[in-house]
Structure 1
Amino acid sequence: MISVLPLLAGLLLAAASLTPSLIPRDWVMQGALAGISTAAGYLVTVFLLALWRTLQIPILSRKWAMICHSVLAVPVLALLVRCIALSDDWQNSIRERMQMPPLEAANTTKMLLLAAAVFLVLVVLGWTLQGLFNLLRNRLARYIPAASANVLGLLLAALIVVTITRDGVVNWALKVADSSYAAAQHLTDPSTAPPTEGWRSGGPGSLADWDLMGKPGRDFVLDGPRAAAIQAFTGRPAHEPLRIYVGLAQEKSAEARARVALAEMIRVGAFDRKILIVSSPTGTGWMDPASYDALEYMNDGDVATVAVQYSYLQSPLALIFETESGLEQATATMRAVYDHWRELPADARPRLYLHGISLGAWSSMYSMNPFQMMNEPISGAFWAGPPFPSELWRQANTARRPGSPFILPEVDEGEVIRYASQFAPPDRSGRPWGRLRILFLQHASDPIVFYNPASLWRAPEWMHEPPAPDVSPRLSFTPIVTQLQLAVDMLVSTSTPPGFGHIYDADEYIDGWVSITAPQGWTAEDTARLKAKCGKGGLIGCDNG
């Protein structure tokens, strides 16, 4: 039986869930979010009422309860109707800023039906858990006092649910996802022939097995500009860029894969290049071509990039279930490369940079050991879309100058650490860089960066600031609901056009690499020409024809 007061509380949260957040939602995601919000409000209120009764606090009579319910229902339903009427406008307030077409108005009915279905499923699940709790406490009450039976029954019910979900459902789903993504990698895809050049990973004499590299690695190795295309663009002599990639299936341990990567780097002469990038891929092993293509063009191809795969899962799944894998692999790779690099003569070794996007940014940050590098520091790091748990990113945020915005902090005079976005290039202050250059590229509309677990009960700090150009001015905070909204935003964070959400644009990479690597002889006109060539790269990189 559905209780009236908990349902009204749920409908109140459902109304709040229709307000805009960081990423625009279609009717499917909005329906799911509204259903989850309604269920959350309903179940939380049921729990509070049960606690109220357990404490034996007086309650209203049936007659007065019905009167109160009737009085409360009018404003709640009125608010819900108003929010439904405004929901499309709220979503379009985000879509307009992201240069997306407006929503179709015909999807409201489908959204409401989906919300109702999701709510009913979750409430039935809640009733099932309550039945389990009642069964356990009633059995225990035969042998121990009722108060102790209630506490112990609750603990046992929670233990059973956690065990079933974590060790049963979650592990099964993770294995299915892992095998599915592994199959999608086409580890032995015969349709993609290995390279014939010996200087390419997977080619003749390579220590990196082509069949074990996975599709993301093979795409990274084969794609990208050739020396002729770079020379045609710059008018200067160019090198063939070196891209070294080792697949997850190459070896069983992170250290073994790192040793293969280092040996492959030495084999192809990566340490003889002007610039050396130690990059960490995203969860699936993907490397955004928009970033690496631009870097190679502006530095005459005199670049070597090394990356080692650590997962087959999409970044949100890898972030939750395979966090340690990414951190261990990035650390092992960086340690192997750095130890070899610092043994080289200081005047004959390449400039060394760290790079990563999304989950790759987190693992890359983790691999940077400032105490190890204090005497012989690297040249810098460029991290795009750093996930919110990234410790180094959080430490940098904490060090920001008072008064500087949370979404684009200023750290000291910007000599070592800078932040950039699609609206704020890294060199906007005009101040010179110091010896070490660290750049964070982040969008105010990126929930992977700005998700905050504490938003369950309080507004994130960035919500207290004027909204950025890509954030709806109608965004507001509601306890519980904002947490759910940001969680959904993370799931759909890559559904935006390039330059918004968690999709970073070629133009932003170009500005970042120009600032970080300071290419010799490079001009503002060259930057404009490269941006015109690469366009809104995002997922496709530059035109290398």
Structure 2
Amino acid sequence: MIAPIVAVTGVAGTSRPSAPPETSVRLPRIGTSVALTVAVMVSSAPSLLPRPAVTQALFTGVLMASALAAAWSARRAFGSRTPARVRLQAWSASVGTLMSIGLLSANVLWQNRLRVAMDVETVDWRYAAEVAAGAICVASVLCGLGRAATGIGGVLGRGRSMILIAIAGLLSYVVVAPTVWSAVSDSFSASNSVVDEAVSAPSSNTRSGAPASLVPWRTLGREGRKFVSGGLDPSTVRAYVGLDSAPTLDRRVALAVADLDRTGAFQRSVVVVAIPTGSGWVDENAVTGAENRFGGDVATVAVQFSSAPSWATLLFAEDDARRSANAVVRAVAERAASEPAPPDIIVYGQSLGAVAGSDAYLSIGRSSPGVCGAVWAGPPAGTVNTEGATVVANSSDPVVRWSADLLWSPPSTSTTRPDAPMPMWLPIVGFVQTSVDLVAALDVDAGHGHRYGTDQGTAMHRCR
């Protein structure tokens, strides 16, 4: 991992008395060898989830390039010193290379431990070879780009370079970012409206989108249509209101309650208020689990508040999610309270849905005894109040672990259930590794990572 990041010195036909022989290999400085070895060590530390060789190579290559940049910056900041002896340079390069090989081999062993636990195909030595080759290529490209940028900066001078960077940053903030976000938002909205012909409108009048429903089928959105068409028991109630079903939040909530009334939902024993994720998705596993848990004597309702993915909603529209959750839970609780025998109301949310639903559950649950249970699946670390709620969280889920606190303190595992080997936490390294694992959090089967099964629904308890 280290020896290839060196250069050959000497040019045919030239003579430099103080230079090494023309055919010799220029050894990396000791600081460079140490920096590269540390980069490989950090990238090879145990992860939460299995990684493809491409992902691991890209991660390792970026860290190697960053380490080289840090070593170069340190030399510039602290000045040149007397070059180390060639023997010491050779020793540090050799030890660093051997350590890197050992670290890559250990990473293969860890990857296979995870893959066996998650029923994923194991890897062999070729995985390490692909990671090493890919990382060297990535680091070389990034270092080349860095040298080019440094050269351009040298030609322009420090003052002009700073002005150019400031102008580029201002244009990105004022023009590029809003334009990109507008285009992406339009794309999300268009995708939400696409009708999948493979998904058929329900025929049971206990579902939104059915012929007798107050909510037209085409207005439910992509995820809403999947929601109302799912399940094995068509007699269960599933009500859903999409963004296109009504122009405002208040009208969407009122429409949801009216459609629940139409189906006789408030005469069921349990009403589950499912807070969807950013795109409007409600996990079918959770709803199916709840319907099995209560023997079909249950109604589930969800109101869409966004068509953007959860990460985008969490960054730019978290308040919309919270307002929607609060309005739906409150409206359902008030309508249920008017029944002679009110149903139990359970609030359910996964990921962003848990973030949005937790405030509503605590605030409304205190004043409305009908709201008597909650289940949070895969709640993001430090964002959900779990008081009085059931938490379903995989120990391999990076979403429930990731926070800035990982830089200096280990994650809390009090609410997680073991589903795979757990890596030892290390300062900074734990944060970096978990951040990379977020990319593949959904690339596993239910029961691992940020994927959950029917136990989300079967974990719901009757309130009386």
The letter for the 2-side match of 1:329 is S
**CA 255–34 in structure 1, closer or farther in 2 if over 3 Å, else same:** farther
| Paired residues for 1:135-534 under 5 Å | 138-139=158-159, 163=170, 171=178, 174-189=181-196, 192-226=199-233, 240-342=235-337, 344=338, 347-370=340-363, 372-377=364-369, 378-393=371-386, 416=388, 438-456=389-407, 458-462=408-412, 469-472=418-421, 475-506=423-454, 508-509=455-456, 511-513=458-460, 516-517=461-462
Structure label with greater radius of gyration: 2
**CA 510–131 in structure 1, closer or farther in 2 if over 3 Å, else same:** same
Match of 1:39 in 2: 65
Deviation at 1:450, TM superposition (A): 0.8
**CA 129–246 in structure 1, closer or farther in 2 if over 3 Å, else same:** farther
- d(CA) in 1 for partners of 2:175, 2:55: 26
**Cα deviation code 1:220-256 (max 9, x no counterpart):** 10111326xxxxxxxxxxxx21111111233444334
- d(CA) in 2 for partners of 1:471, 1:65: 47
Decide which of 4, 27, 44 is 2:53's aligned counterpart.
Answer: 27
Answer whether contact 1:276 1:351 (CA < 8 A) is retained: yes
Answer whether contact 1:34 1:115 (CA < 8 A) is retained: yes
SS of equivalent residue, structure 1 residue 460:
coil
Answer whether contact 1:212 1:247 (CA < 8 A) is retained: yes
Deviation at 1:441, TM superposition (A): 0.8
**Cα deviation code 1:78-106 (max 9, x no counterpart):** 21111122221121121222232312443
Deviation at 1:126, TM superposition (A): 4.7
**CA 23–192 in structure 1, closer or farther in 2 if over 3 Å, else same:** closer
State the number of aligned residues. Answer: 436
Q: Which runs of 5+ in 1 are unaligned?
A: 54-58, 141-152, 228-239, 397-415, 417-437, 520-545
- d(CA) in 1 for partners of 2:91, 2:279: 53
Corresponding position: 1:13 with 2:13: no
SS of equivalent residue, structure 2 residue 274:
strand
Q: Which runs of 5+ in 2 are unaligned?
A: 7-27
Answer whether contact 1:225 1:296 (CA < 8 A) is retained: no
The letter for the 2-side match of 1:366 is D
Answer whether contact 2:401 2:411 (CA < 8 A) is retained: no
Answer whether contact 1:358 1:385 (CA < 8 A) is retained: yes
Answer whether contact 2:378 2:450 (CA < 8 A) is retained: yes
- d(CA) in 1 for partners of 2:361, 2:73: 46
**Cα deviation code 1:397-428 (max 9, x no counterpart):** xxxxxxxxxxxxxxxxxxx4xxxxxxxxxxxx
Deviation at 1:212, TM superposition (A): 2.1
Deviation at 1:178, TM superposition (A): 4.1
Identity %: 27
The letter for the 2-side match of 1:201 is S
SS of equivalent residue, structure 1 residue 386:
coil
Corresponding position: 1:109 with 2:104: no
Deviation at 1:68, TM superposition (A): 5.9
**CA 472–301 in structure 1, closer or farther in 2 if over 3 Å, else same:** closer
The letter for the 2-side match of 1:109 is A
- d(CA) in 2 for partners of 1:198, 1:469: 41
The letter for the 1-side match of 2:65 is A
SS of equivalent residue, structure 1 residue 353:
strand
- d(CA) in 2 for partners of 1:69, 1:249: 67
**CA 38–79 in structure 1, closer or farther in 2 if over 3 Å, else same:** same
SS of equivalent residue, structure 2 residue 45:
coil
The letter for the 1-side match of 2:385 is L
Deviation at 1:262, TM superposition (A): 2.5
Answer whether contact 1:452 1:460 (CA < 8 A) is retained: no
**Cα deviation code 1:303-356 (max 9, x no counterpart):** 1111112333443444344434433322332233334444x25x5321111001
SS of equivalent residue, structure 1 residue 355:
strand
- d(CA) in 1 for partners of 2:176, 2:65: 21
Question: Which deviates more from structure 2 when the two are superposed, residues 19-28 or residues 9-18?
Answer: 9-18
Corresponding position: 1:60 with 2:81: yes
- d(CA) in 2 for partners of 1:253, 1:160: 39
RMSD of aligned Cα (Å): 3.4
**Cα deviation code 1:84-133 (max 9, x no counterpart):** 22221121121222232312443333322332333344445555666787
- d(CA) in 2 for partners of 1:133, 1:479: 35
Decide which of 71, 95, 102 is 1:75's aligned counterpart.
Answer: 95
Answer whether contact 1:100 1:497 (CA < 8 A) is retained: no
Deviation at 1:22, TM superposition (A): 0.8
- d(CA) in 1 for partners of 2:292, 2:425: 44
Match of 1:424 in 2: none
- d(CA) in 2 for partners of 1:129, 1:255: 53
- d(CA) in 1 for partners of 2:63, 2:320: 33
Answer whether contact 1:187 1:215 (CA < 8 A) is retained: yes
- d(CA) in 2 for partners of 1:188, 1:223: 16
